[in-house]
């Protein structure tokens, strides 16, 4: 079982879209995947077509109430993908975990029971609080989506510093899988310049396949569907399929 966090404390970079569509892509490649929604906005949960108001247990209950993992997992409609869902209650966990014992390792300990899955993919919130910290302590590796716009690298140094701190103090095996360029528009000089700057700084850590700016990717969550099911022939679906295969190949080559 491999645990990977999708993280960027800057909002609006395609983090949740990447998490949902990456999990769906892995499922279509016959992998058993658990999507862990650690964002109180619960967009990954709804993006997978799961009704948040109908849930009896969520990741909040797992972290705060010590509810067993198996009682919190929901099987999605999509091939191979199960979800550890979030609700708005998760926002309170940031406060309630402050005084809790082993507060940084709650998720890591819970996911020790997830060995029925090939991959666990964690959608981190757009912040560097206790929920993200739990995610980084639980994960073996991190994928960082970066939007191809002017402020793309703003805050990235802070995130890299946080990763280094977590690695030094709490999770020595944590490493950066790679950076995924999102909302890429090959017609604009700006997208090309941002992509060139990121590649110049991070070299082969940048995935070769960018995710284009595509209206179908934006539409899919409102239907509770990953892009591969909402419009399998769209440029966005094609791009996520290519990225998923590239990421999987990297992982397989590690071994």
Q: Name all domains of the chain by residue range, CATH numbers in brackets.
A: 2-254 (3.40.50.300)
What pLDDT is stored for residue 9 in this prediction? 82
Write out pLDDT tens, residues 138-181. 999 999 999 888 777 777 888 888 899 999 999 999 999 999 99
What pLDDT is stored for residue 246 in this prediction? 97
CB atoms within 10 A of CB 168: 10
Q: Distance from CA of residue 136 to its chain's centroid?
A: 11
What pLDDT is stored for residue 113 in this prediction? 93
Please report which confidence band the pLDDT of residue 185 belongs to, taking 50, 70 and 90 as the band edges: confident
Per-residue b/e over 188-213, b at no fewer than 16 CB within 10 Å?
Answer: eeebeebbeebeeebeeebbebbbbb
Residues 215, 208: contact at Cβ < 8 Å?
no
Is residue 100 scored above 80 in pLDDT?
A: no
Residues 53, 38: contact at Cβ < 8 Å?
no
The stretches of 55-155 forming alpha helices (DSSP H) are: 59-64, 69-72, 90-96, 106-110, 130-138
Write out pLDDT tens, residues 203-230. 999 999 999 999 999 999 999 999 999 9
Is residue 21 scored above 90 in pLDDT?
A: yes
Is residue 193 scored above 80 in pLDDT?
A: yes
What pLDDT is stored for residue 54 in this prediction? 83
CA 8 → CA 18, 58, 127, 142, 226, distances in Å?
12, 23, 8, 10, 20
Q: Which one has a higher pLDDT value, 185 or 181?
A: 181
In order, the DSSP letters of 195-221 are HHHHHHHHGGGB-SSPPBP-HHHHHGG
CA 102 → CA 22, 86, 108, 140, 202, distances in Å?
30, 21, 10, 19, 34
Cα 150-152-158 angle, rounded to 5 deg: 135
Nearest one of 24, 74, 26 to 54, comparing CA atoms? 74
What pLDDT is stored for residue 107 in this prediction? 96
Please report which confidence band the pLDDT of residue 196 belongs to, taking 50, 70 and 90 as the band edges: confident
Is residue 109 scored above 90 in pLDDT?
A: yes
Residues 21, 221: contact at Cβ < 8 Å?
no
What pLDDT is stored for residue 10 in this prediction? 80
What pLDDT is stored for residue 124 in this prediction? 95
Is residue 188 scored above 90 in pLDDT?
A: no
Mean pLDDT estimate for the chain: 92
**Distance, CA of 109 to CA of 67 (rounded, Å):** 12
What pLDDT is stored for residue 255 in this prediction? 61
What would the mean pLDDT of 20-46 be, rounded to a whole number? 97
Residues 38, 125: contact at Cβ < 8 Å?
yes
Half-sphere exposure of residue 163: CA atoms within 13 angstroms, side-chain side: 23
Is residue 197 scored above 90 in pLDDT?
A: no
């Amino acid at each position: 079982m491999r645990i990977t966090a999708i993280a960027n404390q800057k909002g609006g970079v395609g983090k949740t879209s990447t998490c949902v569509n990456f999990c769906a892509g892995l499922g279509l490649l016959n992998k058993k995947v658990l999507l862990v929604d650690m964002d109180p906005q619960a967009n990954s949960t709804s993006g997978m077509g799961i009704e948040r108001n109908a849930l009896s247990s969520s990741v909040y209950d797992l972290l705060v109430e010590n509810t067993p993992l198996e009682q919190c997992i929901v099987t999605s409609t999509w091939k191979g993908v199960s979800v550890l869902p979030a609700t708005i209650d998760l926002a309170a966990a940031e406060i309630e975990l402050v005084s809790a014992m082993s507060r940084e390792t709650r998720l890591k300990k819970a996911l020790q029971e997830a060995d029925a899955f090939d991959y666990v993919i964690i959608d981190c919130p757009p912040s560097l609080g206790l929920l993200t910290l739990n995610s980084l302590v639980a994960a073996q590796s991190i994928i960082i989506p970066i939007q191809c716009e002017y402020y793309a690298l703003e805050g990235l140094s802070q995130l890299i510093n946080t990763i280094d701190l977590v690695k030094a103090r709490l999770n020595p095996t944590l490493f950066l899988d790679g950076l995924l360029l999102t909302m890429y528009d090959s017609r604009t000089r700006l997208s090309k310049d941002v992509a060139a700057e990121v590649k110049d700084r991070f070299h082969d850590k940048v995935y070769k396949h960018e995710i284009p700016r595509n209206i179908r990717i934006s539409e899919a969550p409102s239907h509770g569907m990953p892009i591969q099911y909402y419009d399998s022939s769209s440029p966005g679906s094609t791009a996520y399929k290519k990225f998923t295969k590239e990421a999987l190949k990297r992982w397989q080559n590690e071994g």
